[in-house]
């Protein structure tokens, strides 16, 4: 980043302010570019689309907190592995149960006390 700039400018009667050339150059602002004014605690921060893009990119690619894309993929893989393991147990149990549907139904009715 460039050194600190401290430039005075004047507000027109229409409330317009010209962004000085040195500031536009330092921030990479060109004709037609959009900027955002953020007012906080009595100070104004001029945010460019490029700086906002970099902030969003950093948030989605880990920034200082790590790599969120890798973390999400790792979490999804773990979820898929747990789900696959559960289905494997269901299939294994179903294959081991050689009873007919009538025998299974009769067993459930006995457990519920509806048959002997």
User: Quick one: how far is CA 116 from the chain centroid?
Assistant: 57
CATH code reported for the domain at 1-60: 2.10.260.10
How many Å apart are CA 78 and CA 71, to the nearest integer? 11
| Half-sphere exposure (Cβ direction) of 101: Cα atoms closer than 13 Å | 0
49 vs 19 pLDDT, higher one: 19
Model confidence pLDDT, tens digit, residues 35-87? 989 999 999 988 888 888 877 777 666 555 566 677 788 889 999 999 999 99
* pTM of this structure: 0.45
C-beta separation of 9 from 17 below 8 A: yes
Total residues found in the chain within this entry: 116
Q: Which residue from 38, 39, 37, 19 is spatially nearest to 29, judged by alpha carbons?
A: 19
Q: Cα-flanking dihedrals φ and ψ of residue 85, to 5°? A: -65, -40
Least confident of 17-31, 64-78, 91-105: 64-78
- Cβ(67)–Cβ(61) below 8 Å: yes
């Amino acid at each position: 980043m460039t050194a600190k700039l401290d430039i005075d400018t004047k507000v027109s009667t229409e409330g317009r302010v010209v962004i000085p050339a040195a500031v536009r150059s330092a921030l990479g602002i060109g004709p037609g570019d959009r900027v955002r004014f953020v007012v906080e605690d009595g100070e104004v921060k001029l945010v460019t689309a490029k700086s906002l893009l970099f902030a969003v990119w950093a948030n989605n690619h880990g920034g200082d907190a790590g790599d969120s894309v890798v973390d999400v993929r790792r979490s999804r893989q773990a979820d898929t592995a747990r789900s696959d393991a559960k289905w494997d147990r269901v299939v294994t149990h179903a294959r081991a149960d050689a009873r007919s549907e009538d025998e299974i139904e009769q067993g459930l009715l006995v457990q519920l006390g509806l048959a002997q």
